Amino acid sequence: MTGTVFPAPRTAFPGGRAEKQGEIAGMTTNNRRRVVVTGMGVIAPIGNSVDDFWKNLVAGTSGAANITYFDTAAYDTHFACELKGYKATDFLDRKGAQRMDPFSQYAQIAADQAVAASGVSAKDEDPDRFGVVFGSGIGGMTTYDTQFKNLMQGGPGRISPFFIPMLIPDIACGNISIRHGFKGPNYATVSACATASHAIGDAFRIIQYGDAEVMLCGGAEAPITPMGLGGFNAMRALSTRNDAPEKASRPFDAQRDGFVMGEGGGALLLEELEHAQKRGATIYGEIAGIGFTADAHHITAPPEGGEGAVRSMRRAIKDAGISSDDVEYVNVHGTSTPLGDISETMAIKTVFGEHAKKLSISSTKSMTGHLLGAAGAIEAIATLLAIKNGMIPPTINYEFPDPACDLDYTPNVAVKRNITYAISNTFGFGGHNATILVKKFIE
């Protein structure tokens, strides 16, 4: 799906005329439907709005602190990147919030922000032309933990009738469509930490194919639960820097010892360019290309040299119809794991060659922690904001250089830079690789 030649779409393009088979089959990057971003929404450990999120990213603010949701004394890790000052009823009505797992609350809140920012409404048009692709890597972890306790303590009669609807990952996109009346394509993506990037890519393609004019996409995750923390501790995937949580997420630093869990949601409102222009929408940037690949290697470890990531980035660059030398910024997956950071560094060197030394690179996970299925959404938003504001967010906690990680990771302090093309990488357990290539909007 990431080449520049497409098969005929399943439906006619808007305007009533069915396109000829040959015309669609010959579509290239120069004449296919352009897809722009006209709304964004964020609820994250460093900000419950897009503005606060960006302000704290540029300031290098860490979202890590001791976990407050439950007693962590028996765990190897005592900290995570929880949301700050979050109260569901500040955003949602009480009954609605009670019937949503936190991951679904975060999805709804981010989606509401994105729709409000875009100013678009399905009520004013054909709602079949508005869709939602929204994912979660895990789904309702809090709900599962709570209802399992109910089962163990009181038997099956104590299980809530809302257990299944609150648990399933696709309930987020269902709730979003119900709230906003979007009746077009609607489904969830699930690909671990690549989930939200796959949602963005699918939404991008749906608009390109002519199956919708507007797509709301993104991801949400609420993994900071007893089972979530215990499971990742059992894998030895998490940092155990309990004496200094704010220093624990340190991508590419020689003393990194694992990732830091985060929670939250991110949403992007994608729109076909002419549709956006006709209604005078604010355009934050353009989705230029996507690259999706599989490692076919190992359930958790990347292949040597990041071979799958190499193919993912190359596909996105080809899909955008540009040269690798045109890319100026990479918002990396950069989880702060010993193997992962080296693998991604090697992949970047392979894709960009000598140009890799000229790239600005940063891992915003150093501040937000790893939002798992939501990571691709908030990181795509960070990348778009970097382009819009001409500012590269830093990789904080970079203190001890690793000889195997020798690129410019924008250490500790944000840097001004004009950017036209940028990449956002996300890679998931199971060998899922997703790259989103975004660009400055130029008419």
Residue-range domains of the chain with CATH: 35-278 (3.40.47.10), 290-439 (3.40.47.10)
SS3 state of residue 378: helix
Instruction: Give the C-alpha separation, 434 to 415, whole Å.
Output: 26
The per-residue pLDDT for 107 is 98
The per-residue pLDDT for 32 is 87
260: left (phi over 0), alpha (psi -120 to 50) or beta: beta
Backbone φ and ψ of 222, nearest 5°: -135, 70
> Which residue's entry shows tokens 């990181």?
379
Catalytic position from the list 78, 275, 333, 432: 333
**pLDDT tens for residues 229-243?**
999 999 999 999 999
Tell me if residue 275 is catalytic: no
Instruction: Give the C-alpha separation, 298 to 430, whole Å.
Output: 7
Catalytic position from the list 78, 180, 370, 432: 370
The per-residue pLDDT for 30 is 59
The per-residue pLDDT for 116 is 98
Catalytic position from the list 193, 198, 275, 432: 193
C-beta separation of 321 from 307 below 8 A:
no
Q: How would DSSP label each residue in 248-315? A: T--TTBTT---B-BB-EEEEEEEEEHHHHHHTT----EEEEEEEEEE--S-SSSPPGGGHHHHHHHHH
Q: Which residues of the chain have pLDDT under 70?
A: 1-30
Strands (E) in 174-229, as ranges, are 186-187, 214-221
Tell me if residue 198 is catalytic: no
The per-residue pLDDT for 29 is 54
Instruction: Give the C-alpha separation, 267 to 216, whole Å.
Output: 7
Pairing status of strand 214-221 against strand 130-135: parallel
